[in-house]
Structure 1
Amino acid sequence: MTSHFFLLGGPISVERLSWIEECLKFFFVKLNPENLLHHTKAPRDAIFTFLLTGEALYSLQNPQTLPVWEIILSMPSVKIVCDLKELELRGISIGRLKMKNPEQVIYQNSLALNGQPSFWKDVMKFARQHEQPVPSTVGYLHMESPYMNQSSHAALQFLAAGLEAHASVDLYAYLDGVHLGHLGQNPSECENIGSGLEDLHDKAQKKGVSFQVLACGRCAAARGYSTWDDGQGMVISTCTIKPVKIRNLKETIDQFKRNHIILAKDSASFQFKKNGQLSSFPLQEKERSPPVTILITRRPYGTEEAFGAISFAVACAYEGITTRVVFIEDGVYALMGEHKLEIKTHFFNLQEVVDAVAGSANLQFFAFQPSLNQRGIMKNRKLNAVLDIGIPELGQLLFFPPNGVSANHQRVIIF
């Protein structure tokens, strides 16, 4: 059975869970009504799986989001897999949800080789499901700095679970994520992320599988990571630990052209219905690269995330990957009014950036109208290349392959 899954580690608002709920309704009612006729709640037959860790787990107890979860779990073949250790750390109770949906809410994780429950081993079962042959590759896009954000530890656990499953692992460091590889990390009260990466690199070598950490060169340079060319085409830095390679973003995008699953702190993977056999690995042809849908959920200017999302989307499209950008939730503020900057400023006008790249091949922009309506704002009329969409169109973007694309799945990344 076709399987779609979300990996969610950040806070889940009522708004986010509501548009997810509406998209699932669209999937079952409009695209797959046969599932409504053969309703099953057996976890093994799940069509949609939510893998929840970190801050996302609070939504299972929050009185505002809990009713939405109950609606989602009433749909055919939906299940939730919780990170047991994170539930216990936070003291979160899921008793009410578990009592009503005992077979759909899973909190007993698979056992790792050390005999301890491992949520990330469960994640790896989904992350490798497309891969043929084995051993395969799994990738993780990381965008937050270590120590300030627990997501760095989650990234390490994802990579470790991949190695335990005898997969090659890739870590793509973007925006503040480049700090994971800084030399000389010495935290006194938590796990050393740099040492953790070095240990995983050594384990990969012993297992005979690949361990690759690619850091975005533009992001690294902006944060003071000096590099130089050794004269033989190799870019070297004295600021990073050995496994980390500071490279042009193109090298990361080249990995996105391949067929392996790539996840992030908040991400999803949706399989496409195919006639005949699934595409073989590796896939690097333009039309067979998995399409990328980027959801911009943050306000512009306060952080680099909105601009970084657009930059990443442009890079994907330039390399031939079909890329869609959806402004949703607080991301729609980037489209409101007319943005103005002082002359000769080094800052950027996000609307001008969107307008400049909107006509690029393989790249489309969309504005989620319900998010605009909820905030009582309107899109700048000059941004006519940004198309208005609602739930039906968002559902089409998520669950239907773009024209001319024969990939077997789509990557969704939430910025």
Structure 2
Amino acid sequence: MKTQDPLHPSTKVLLSSHISKERLQWLQMVLPSQKVQSDSASLVSFFLCGDALYSLTHPETVPIWKELIKEPGVRIVADYEDLVDMGLIKGVERSGLAQKGSLNTLFINKENAHVSSAGFLHLYSPYMHRHTEKFLALLDDAVSLSIPVSVILYLDAVHLCHSNQVTTEFENIEQGLDKVQQKSLESGLPFIITACQRCSQARGYMHPGTEEDNAAPCFRNGVWISGLSQLIPLFSSAEIVLHADCINIAGNGNEVYILVVTGTPYGTEHAFGAISFAVALSGKNIPTYVIFAEDGAYCYIPAPDSRFCNTVRDIQSVIMATATPGLLEYGVFECSLSERGIIADNEVPEFQVFRPYDIALLMKKLITGGFNVRTLIW
């Protein structure tokens, strides 16, 4: 793998969820500065698919994209198949914002070499979310390019392992996994599928007991079920880590994670899931930042009278109990607070308010430090 220039790192951004004006604005804050002279190769590549493609035609986001692509070394690749399926071909062609292409170019570096290995974190159930179809397609692309793969199924993604799936309208995810796994076996490629033990147990896929082999009969064979602390090291050797919405900033040194939580604190399992993932990362001495953005900013509001106060179901209590300066730090975007009329007066030292200048300093520190910066959006 070629040594990265710490001042001009190669950055890949995969976006498949809805992109609001707010999201597009804060995304720019967690990217390397483009105010540099670059060579002919793009330094920042956006890969858009699924609902993210609507932002290429929406009047609120198009002007922001237009300003972004004026920066040196920025390009946008729009998934051609999704553009066709969603009727967006003409609209995107008129805007001139993106080039039509395939997401498999995610796995190709500036030097036209394939990445050496890939990690996949998946959070979504198989049929409720189209993210899973795209996840399966990217897995197939990686194996087709002879790239070793490691997968962590987390939260509702453990449902992918339920056997005897029968579908009529949608692609059968169980059969799709079978095909990709068989292709990797025939190619002699490492292909590791794992599932979070806590999530599997909560969803009824684990028999009570202490034996290692205690998965329910309906659970997919060949899946390694374990705690996050055992699974996370699989990603440490991966050149790129992919998620439905993610950013990979290539570096020469150790990995660091930024987990951006965008959903309300108590409406889904995502906020707690992100914090648990962050705690597991820090437990392996991997520096991690958890930043609450968009509706995640509601986490900043204290609830001292809640019946869950000082329990694991109280997010601020968990933050105060787990924050470790320099290893696991928490913050919230000031722009997301102001967008929701939340006053930044919560005096919790472990819960920082990140202004654009603060984020710029953090990103500069991480990038010039040569870290592989892996941003996962929850």
TM over 0.5: yes
Whether the 8 Å CA contact 2:121–2:151 is kept in 1: the answer is: yes
Residue among 90, 95, 100 paired with 1:97: 95
- The equivalent of 1:71 in structure 2 is 67
Amino acid at match of 2:85: L
- The equivalent of 2:3 in structure 1 is none
Q: Tell me by how many angstroms 1:208 deviates.
A: 0.3
Q: Tell me by how many angstroms 1:292 deviates.
A: 0.6
Identity score, percent:
31
Distance 1:240-1:301 versus aligned 2 partners, 3 A rule: same
Q: Which runs of 5+ in 2 are unaligned?
A: 1-7
- The equivalent of 1:115 in structure 2 is none
Q: Tell me by how many angstroms 1:191 deviates.
A: 0.9
- The equivalent of 1:381 in structure 2 is 346
- The equivalent of 1:270 in structure 2 is 249
Distance in 2 separating the partners of 1:130 and 1:84? 22
Matches within 5 A, 1:99-118: 105-107=98-100, 109=101
Q: Tell me by how many angstroms 1:84 deviates.
A: 0.4
Distance in 2 separating the partners of 1:143 and 1:11? 16
- The equivalent of 1:27 in structure 2 is 33
Whether the 8 Å CA contact 2:311–2:318 is kept in 1: the answer is: no
Matches within 5 A, 1:15-414: 15-21=22-28, 27-29=33-35, 34-35=36-37, 44-92=40-88, 93-98=91-96, 105-107=98-100, 109=101, 119-126=102-109, 136-227=116-207, 233-234=212-213, 236-272=215-251, 278=252, 288-342=253-307, 348-359=313-324, 362-379=327-344, 381-401=346-366, 407=371, 409-414=372-377
Distance in 1 separating the partners of 2:103 and 2:26? 26
Distance in 1 separating the partners of 2:332 and 2:172? 40
DSSP 3-state at the match of 2:108: helix
Aligned pairs, number: 369
Distance 1:377-1:241 versus aligned 2 partners, 3 A rule: same
Q: Tell me by how many angstroms 1:389 deviates.
A: 1.4
Amino acid at match of 2:27: I
DSSP 3-state at the match of 1:79: strand
DSSP 3-state at the match of 2:46: strand
- Tell which deviates more after alignment, 235-244 or 369-378: 235-244
Distance in 1 separating the partners of 2:136 and 2:21? 29
DSSP 3-state at the match of 1:197: helix
- Cα-to-partner distance string for 1:219-258 (whole Å, 9 max, x where unaligned): 1111111246796x55544232223222111222111332
Distance in 1 separating the partners of 2:226 and 2:345? 36
Distance in 2 separating the partners of 1:76 and 1:168? 32
Whether the 8 Å CA contact 1:258–1:290 is kept in 2: the answer is: no
Whether the 8 Å CA contact 2:77–2:99 is kept in 1: the answer is: yes
Distance in 2 separating the partners of 1:23 and 1:344? 32
Which one has more relative contact order, counting CA pairs under 8 Å at least 6 apart? Answer: 2
Distance 1:341-1:78 versus aligned 2 partners, 3 A rule: same
Distance in 2 separating the partners of 1:211 and 1:332? 37
- Cα-to-partner distance string for 1:310-355 (whole Å, 9 max, x where unaligned): 1110110011101111111111100114353326998711111111
Amino acid at match of 2:328: L
Distance in 2 separating the partners of 1:396 and 1:360? 16
RMSD over aligned CA atoms reads: 2.6
Q: Which runs of 5+ in 1 are unaligned?
A: 110-118, 273-277, 279-287
TM-score with structure 2 setting the length: 0.90
Amino acid at match of 1:205: L
TM-score with structure 1 setting the length: 0.82
DSSP 3-state at the match of 1:161: helix
Distance 1:207-1:399 versus aligned 2 partners, 3 A rule: farther
Distance in 2 separating the partners of 1:181 and 1:215? 9
